[in-house]
Amino acid sequence: MSSVTYKSAGVDLELYEEAMQRLPALMQRTLTSRVLPLSDAFAGLFRLNHSNRPGRQTYDDPVLVTGTDGVGTKLKVAQRVRQFNTVGIDLVGMSVNDCLCLGAEPLLFLDYLALGKDNPDLIAQLVEGVSAGCVEAGAALLGGETAIMPDIYHDGDFDMAGFCVGVVERARIVDGKAVRPKDVVLGLPSSGFHSNGYSLIRKVVFELAGLTVDSEVPELGRTVGKMLIEPTRIYVKHVLPVLARYRVRTAVSGLAHITGGGLRDNIDRFLPDNCHVKIDRRRWPIPPCFHWLQELGDIDRDEMYKVFNMGIGFCLIVRPQYVDSIRKQLAATGIEAWSIGEVEAGPKGVEYVA
């Protein structure tokens, strides 16, 4: 009887080492001068105050902002498409967009990958997406963990989670307390489904309609797989310049990342008790992918707006006198903003008026 080894138990340390050798270059492209260099350290170091920090070199009263999220069952679509270098962008986007809602500048990101079997190619592709998302968000990919867990995950299965740390001056926290009647809701376009509602999407598309990832969708101009794997849009480079130029609370009173629960749940969560938001669904173009899915699955319209972002991935609530100038500044960063609703006096809540 041969002796038992870690490899015979399902963990190949040589393959693991091969995978780890591919990751430093992907991390390196995200690092800034605020990251202190370390060799073979157990953790990462990041300088909060630094001469190369954008704007002022030091913070007066810095508050750390944290967020964590995953990609959900969109990972199952990635497995079907056999494309793994974009879901890492989703991972970053879901966390940094949440931190952005408090006005925070993303500083660093950590990832966690769990697999049933060592797969250096898969790990490299997943981290490639995380690295790309961090570059887009301006966050340093400072570290992570790769766990090989046979019997927990079947061969070919994997999961991933991400952790963002940001910072904001305490006086510039955007918490929604300054929202007041007559404020305007500006909506920024999503890139599609982002990372929400994929259990419903997969049931409709693959189980009920019997489509495959290679099925062509003429009205969308691409295959099912390419449409469903479209990564989450990251809003940091669009929203932070607005927050730097305009006074928070007196110009920008609220921020919302539109994820599961749609516009209603994600705007409602920070409204003051005396503020009621009316959203007009006629004020922005609904992307074709949502119409396609709704018709394919005969999904009720209210269910669509409850589950999905319906084409609005992020919202700014602003004073009416700043609407035009903020829209122009957003346009200068390459994104359109639609005036999709208003705040009125009334019981806390969000309703659709069309």
182 phi and psi angles, rounded to 5 deg: 85, -10
Query: In this predicted model, what pLDDT tens digit does every residue of 188-221 receive, in sequence order?
Result: 999 999 999 999 999 999 999 999 999 999 989 9
In the chain, what percentage of residues exceed pLDDT 90?
A: 79
Query: In this predicted model, what pLDDT tens digit does every residue of 220-279 receive, in sequence order?
Result: 999 999 999 999 999 999 999 999 999 888 999 999 999 999 999 999 999 999 999 999
pLDDT at 53: 63
Selection from 334, 343, 305, 304 nearest residue 186 by Cα? 343
Ordered domains of the chain (ranges, CATH) = 13-36+56-172 (3.30.1330.10), 184-352 (3.90.650.10)
Compute the distance between CA of residue 262 and CA of residue 241 in angstroms, rounded to an integer: 25
- Low-confidence winner among 7-21, 146-160, 231-245 (lowest mean pLDDT): 7-21
Per-residue tokens: 231: 């990564």
Go through the chain and tell me how many residues it has.
354
